Homo-oligomer: A and B are copies of this chain.
């Protein structure tokens, strides 16, 4: 997406943005739902369920792993992907806190 001046924002703001990115694409939402609900965890099963090419799914999994919200345990020749609970919990906290803070009363 262009450049994004991460250095001018707080660590917290950048982390929120990063975690939000995990959910900012419908394919990744689908993957995370499947993993969270234990409907699938083997990479190949995800590929079968999702109407996307294997390379594309693998790319999304890599991004989710980079963010830290999933783990990938290799079990040759397969790889089992799972939700990384501490980071999932972090997301719960971060979004919960953010969305719970809403001053009402209008100014306009």
Contacts and interface: CB of A to CB of B under 8 A. Distances in A.
A73 B108 contact: yes
Point out which of A96, A104, A108 has the most chain B C-beta atoms below 10 A from its C-beta: A108
Contact of A24 (B5, B20, B75, B108): B20
B9 A29 contact: yes
Nearest to A101: B36
Contacts of A8: 51-52
Contacts of A33: 13, 98, 101
Point out which of A20, A38, A75 has the most chain B C-beta atoms below 10 A from its C-beta: A20
Contacts of A4: 25-26
Nearest to A9: B26
A102 B75 contact: no
Contacts of A22: 20
13 contacts: A6-B26, A8-B52, A9-B26, A9-B27, A17-B28, A32-B98, A33-B101, A36-B98, A37-B103, A73-B108, A88-B99, A91-B99, A92-B100
